[in-house]
Structure 1
Amino acid sequence: MKRAGCLLLSFIAVAPAATVAFSVLSPGGESEGSSARPSASASARSPESDESAAERRADDKMIASLPPGLAAPAKKELAQQLVASAENSTLDWRSAYAYIEDIGDGQGYTAGIIGFCSGTHDLLTLVERYTKSHPDNGLARYLPALREVDGTDSHEGLDPGFPAAWKKEATRQAFRDAQDGERDRAYFDPAVRLAKLDGLGTLGQFIYYDAMVFHGPGTGPTGFYGLREATIKEADTPSQGGKEASYLDIFLDLRRKAMRTKKAGIDTSRVDTAQRQFLYDGNLALRTPLTWQVYGETYRVR
């Protein structure tokens, strides 16, 4: 039996019910578990392929009919500020383009506006994509080393020059644009899309986005898609007829546990005194002004 959630509120879902159909993307951008794309000479497409494409078109049409939510320019800017308060202890998220350090979390170097990591494939993907369009960039020579250390916390082949090269490259607008683009492709767009399909409003869309950034787009028990699936086992999404606030409360419960599973004693204030506070305040539209706390620091956006 799905639990109703501990939040004793009765908000109305802000989006209509929808049939959810989506692909889980690997960090490299390919659909996990999907077969290779047929060649141009293929005589016919499979019924499964046609059905999947039809479902996606239906989803696209439904999403296009909804308010922009977190994708509205002002709300997207707010989302980056909220994430930056937790990732970089600042509201000036653009100041993090040049950020790079090993924070000792077992994921190698953490860098850039959402913490691309040398050990979790997304930093490698960013540099590979950037190098395709800007082959003369100062990070390209580190690609062999990045491929070798991917999935580990090793700095082999990266020290001592990689941090300085990253900071120098971050002075170029092209690399800043590349960071923005990879953030959107791998994290923001998939999270907001799926939140809308689940019937979630602007706050719920942000909760999905921040979880995608922190936990990564994995299907395991501590990955974003795994957390969503675990939540659906306990509560219906608004698209399934469930209460939005109750569903999000349970998602945050499971996310908090997953954070502590990854690292015992971790500070969970990005959930406790930010996102959950917005939820308990009934601010499902993520209206400003906002006040929240992360790591004991208070932030305000008017």
Structure 2
Amino acid sequence: MKLSLLIIAVTAAIISTEVVDAAPSSMSNCVTQFSETIINLLQNGQESTNFAQCTKDNSGNGYAAGVINFTTGSGDAWRVIKTFMSMKGYANEFDEYKDNIDTYIQGNDGSTEGLDNFCDGWKKASDNKSNSFWNAQETILGTEYYKPAQKQTSNLKIALDVTKAAVLDSAIVDGPGSGKTSMGGIIKTTNNMINKDIKGDSGSTLSINGYNVDEIAWLKLFLKRRTTVNSGSKPNVNAYNQIIKDREYSWDTSTLVVQDDSGEEHTLQCH
């Protein structure tokens, strides 16, 4: 679980033969950009992206680094590194960990013993002019977070951009798995709560357990469940509730106004 995140903004600024499109095809460019910036803003208080950041994880999960605070304790930081090692731009930044990389990938108890040079290597790799390390981060972001979110929204036949973004937000902040506190588990619990038709005026209806459920009504239940199991997601949930209140269901515009946890409004731009 990641409660403090930096998230990548998918832009045309990265030019490389190894660029990987992390965003699922069912999500428009503006949906991915807005949802990513919301996470960045609400979890870190900034809209900008930081591939190079690396700090001791405040939840005891080792080091947290990169665009979504991949952690050494969970293993996804090591999967980024292994992906980078296979790219032609790799310049030996993590060679001291190479022999044990597969062991590290399995995850651990969050110990940083023997990792004294980890952050130095991460920052050095992020400055690599080939952009390969940026692309390695995008690759893991895509396979481990975007794709599970896309699968869930596709299975539910979700149509509205705000719902797609909220599910992606949960995958990244809460984790993409099926446990009760992760995205998949939260969706399962939300669906299990539905035992009747729920009307609404969103213009999109989901079929849940044989019942017709207005999509925004479902989203409200999903967001409420998120805060029940993960208090750290509350700023993000509050922002989405405000977006719902403003009836910004489809994000086909170049701007989106989002409130941070203090109530200050931020106008996000889709490039």
Q: TM-score, normalised by structure 2?
A: 0.75
Please say if residues 75 and 108 of structure 2, whose CA atoms lie closer than 8 Å, have aligned partners that are also in contact. yes
Q: How does 1:180-191 map to 2 (within 5 A)?
A: 180-191=138-149
Bigger-Rg structure (1/2): 1
Contact 1:127 1:140 in 2 (8 A): no
Equivalent residue number for residue 10 of structure 1: none
- State the match for 2:46 in structure 1: 90
Q: Which has the higher helix share?
A: 1
Residue-by-residue CA offset, 1:186-244 (whole Å, 9 max, x unaligned): 11132123213312221111111110001112222111111111111013881433110
Q: Deviations over 1:82-113 (max 9, x none)?
A: 221134322122xx100111242121211111
Corresponding residue of 1:45: none
Q: Which has the higher contact order (CA 8 A, sep 6+)?
A: 1
Look up the match of 2:87. Answer: 133
> Is 1:123 the equivalent of 2:83?
no
1:148-199 deviation per Cα after TM superposition (whole angstroms, max 9, x unaligned): 582322111111x111110110112010011112111111132123213312
Contact kept? 2:173, 2:233, Cα under 8 Å: no
- The answer to whether the 8 Å contact 1:191/1:212 transfers is yes
Taking a change above 3 Å as real, the CA distance of residues 235 and 283 of structure 1, as seen in their structure-2 partners, is farther
Query: Aligned residue for 1:193?
Result: 151
Does the 8 A contact of 1:118 with 1:146 survive in 2?
A: no
Aligned residues: 226
Q: Which residue of 1 aligns with 2:222?
A: 251
1:294 aligns with 2:253: no
Counterpart of 2:217 in structure 1: which amino acid?
S
Matches within 5 A, 1:219-238: 219-235=178-194, 238=206
Query: Among the aligned pairs, what percent are the same residue?
Result: 23
CA distance in 2, matches of 1:151, 1:196: 33
Check whether the contact 1:97–1:176 (CA below 8 A) recurs between aligned residues. yes
Among 23, 47, 68, the residue aligned to 1:114:
68
Matching residue within 245, 263, 268 for 2:234: 268
Secondary structure of the corresponding residue to residue 242 of structure 1: strand
**Residue type of the alignment partner of 1:291:** V
Match of 1:155 in 2: 112
Q: 1:184 and 1:233, CA in 2 relative to 1: closer, same or farther beyond 3 A?
A: same
Cα shift readout 1:92-139 (whole Å, capped 9, x = no counterpart): 22xx10011124212121111111111112112211222223564312
Whole-angstrom CA distance in 2 between matches of 1:267 and 1:206: 14
Runs of 5+ in structure 2 lacking a partner? 1-24, 196-204
TM-score (norm 1): 0.68
- The answer to which of 187-196 and 251-260 deviates more is 187-196
Q: Which runs of 5+ in 1 are unaligned?
A: 1-67, 261-265
Pick the structure with more strand per residue.
2
Measured after TM superposition, the shift of residue 281 of structure 1 is 2.2
